Amino acid sequence: MPFTLASLVEFEQDIKKSRFQAFAVPVENEQEVRDFLESYKDISTTHQCWAWKIGHHVRFNDDGEPSGTAGRPILATIEGNDLTNVLVLVNRWYGGIKLGTGGLVRAYGGTAGQCLLLAEKIELIEKKQVEFSCLFNEWAILQYELQQQQIQYQEEYTAEGVYVIAQLQVHQIAALSQKIQDVTRGRESLKCDDTHD
């Protein structure tokens, strides 16, 4: 069972006069990765190296450190902790002493690992994207249902009524599907987007 993080965590340490600072954060998609990296951009650092894993997708960046000495070790700590939907950013302020490739691997991997040790891990609940339509007079009932179950959704008003896209945990699908059938008297059904990863 994959896990993700409950919230943002931070860890900092000094290694041979270089300062290393790690941030680990849960992310749902690449846009959240980009937004986080943009908001944590720090021009005072010597290097900002990172790695993320969302489902089966991974990416990492050495940001000028020798290839394979920063991003890959950070990714290895994410995978070693059975985590997904996680981004780890490690900042380095160079302190004048070269660490060598082995030292860099240990420093980046170790800083990321220590950061992840501090994090509260939660079971990742798989979500599926679903969609449905309803008439205006049915929307209030269905909207109340979505809010009661704390389901994230986006609605779009059309000439015929309301078109809704929602992110559901797998166990919520059957109940909502039944509710839509009941409210619309069988006219509408819940459509699952099974291609959504």
d(CA 195, CA 66): 37
For 1, counting Cβ atoms within 10 Å of its Cβ (0-12 exposed, 13-18 middle, 19+ buried), the class is exposed
pLDDT band at 172 (very low <50, low <70, confident <90, very high): confident
For 161, counting Cβ atoms within 10 Å of its Cβ (0-12 exposed, 13-18 middle, 19+ buried), the class is middle
pLDDT band at 1 (very low <50, low <70, confident <90, very high): low
pLDDT tens for each residue of 42-61: 999 999 999 999 988 999 99
Q: Which two tokens stand for residue 85?
A: 């939907």
- pTM of the entire structure? 0.69
pLDDT tens for each residue of 140-167: 999 999 998 888 899 999 999 999 999 8
Phi/psi for 125 (5° steps) reads: -95, 120
Domains and CATH numbers, the chain: 3-123 (3.30.230.30), 127-193 (3.30.70.240)
Half-sphere exposure in the Cβ direction for 90 (13 Å, CA)? 40
Q: What is the pLDDT of residue 89?
A: 98
